[in-house]
Structure 1
Amino acid sequence: MAERPIDRARLTVLAGPTAVGKGTVSADVRARYPHVWLSVSATTRRPRPGEVDGVHYHFLDPDDFAGMVASGEFLEWAVVHGRNSYGTPRGPVEERLAAGRPALLEIDLQGARQVRQTMPEAQFVFLAPPSWEELVRRLEGRGTEDAEERERRLATAQVEMAAAAEFDRTIINDDVTRATDELVSLMGVDQLGTPSR
């Protein structure tokens, strides 16, 4: 897909393969650009060490998640890696956009495709690893998945990598600080959180 000019899109969607560092970049946005509003996704997976409910994710049991799906409370949702459900609560995103403020979603490929259907005016950014070998190294280095889960995630990552052309922009995550700065720049937000013109 040809790159669109930076359009100061109010909604920016960040996606990429497993272990590429989406969570790390999002945490860096949260720490260094607190004026950038980052949507908190819901998930049925268990928290990883250091993750805080309501900050990193809303950790829900499967029945509660299914109830939110049934009542249309998600902007997007999907079952990821064939196991856990993830979704973006609709209300907080719509409130932020209605106030005319930029919003950032960090989601998986399936979710990004759903958002493109409902909000095609959003800006879609693909976070890519410097190489496949580096992606494998990062996944193995996390130590949060067993061998079977790592293999499942790597198979998914191959499919996800092939989808980069569907996105408006690609950022190579070779350095977290640089990748974060590039993402915030693409959002067209200045240091005070005001959309730049």
Structure 2
Amino acid sequence: FYSPEKFRQEIEAGNFFEWSIVHGEFKGVRRDILGDTLSSHKIVIVKPDPQGMRKIKSQLPEALTIFIMPPSIEALQRRLEHRGTETPEQRAVRLRNAEIEMAAAPEYDYVVVNEDGKLDRTVDEIAKIIREETRKPRHYDL
């Protein structure tokens, strides 16, 4: 993890493949780590927002994208309230951002709905997608 100042320096140096500010925090994928991981034929899992996903797909069209979403914005609101880790203002921002992100779901290769109380099913569905997709030949050029 970097301080905001160090993160900005790394951005300016071109060391990030993709980066954005999410909920007030810098998030990103380092170019060297991504390259090393892909060249060793390992699976890379990142959690970008839709803007980050678009950046990744524009540079790596072969990248597989999966959008994991709640069954509804109301379900997400209940989850956030039950969690109790954020202020009402922070929850409101998260919910507004979630609505924007959920609107981008059709842009992803797959959409998986994480139903309440069915985490195992969600994990199984994602694992199945990854198994099926890793059987397909892919070539990544950074």
> Given the two structures, how large is their TM-score scaled by the length of structure 2?
0.84
**Structure 1 residue aligned with 2:61:** 120
User: Can you list the C-alpha shifts for 1:78-99, whole angstroms capped at 9, x where unaligned?
Assistant: 1123x22111122222111111
**Structure 1 residue aligned with 2:84:** 143
Say yes or no: does 1:176 pair with 2:119.
yes
Between Structure 1 and Structure 2, the one with more strand by share is 1
TM-fit CA distance, 1:100: 2.0
User: Can you list the C-alpha shifts for 1:122-153, whole angstroms capped at 9, x where unaligned?
Assistant: 11111111222111111222222211111111
Q: What secondary structure is seen at the aligned counterpart in 2 of 1:100? A: coil
> Given the two structures, how large is their TM-score scaled by the length of structure 1?
0.62
Task: Supply the distance in 1 between the matched residues of 2:10 and 2:31 (Cα, whole angstroms).
Answer: 10
- For 2:2, the aligned partner's letter is L
Cα RMSD of the aligned pairs, angstroms, is: 1.7
Structure with higher RCO (Cα < 8 A, 6+ apart): 1
Count of equivalent residues? 133
- For 1:63, the aligned partner's letter is E
Asked if 1 retains the 8 angstrom alpha-carbon contact of 2:68 and 2:111, the reply is: yes
**Structure 1 residue aligned with 2:71:** 130
- For 1:78, the aligned partner's letter is S
**Structure 2 residue aligned with 1:80:** 22
Task: Specify which of 147, 162, 175 is matched with residue 103 of structure 2.
Answer: 162
Task: Specify which of 91, 96, 101 is matched with residue 42 of structure 2.
Answer: 101
TM-fit CA distance, 1:196: 4.5
Q: What secondary structure is seen at the aligned counterpart in 2 of 1:106? A: coil
Asked if 1 retains the 8 angstrom alpha-carbon contact of 2:73 and 2:98, the reply is: no
**Structure 1 residue aligned with 2:33:** 92
**Structure 1 residue aligned with 2:128:** 185
User: Can you list the C-alpha shifts for 1:64-112, whole angstroms capped at 9, x where unaligned?
Assistant: 111111111112111123x221111222221111112222222222211
Q: What secondary structure is seen at the aligned counterpart in 2 of 1:170? A: strand
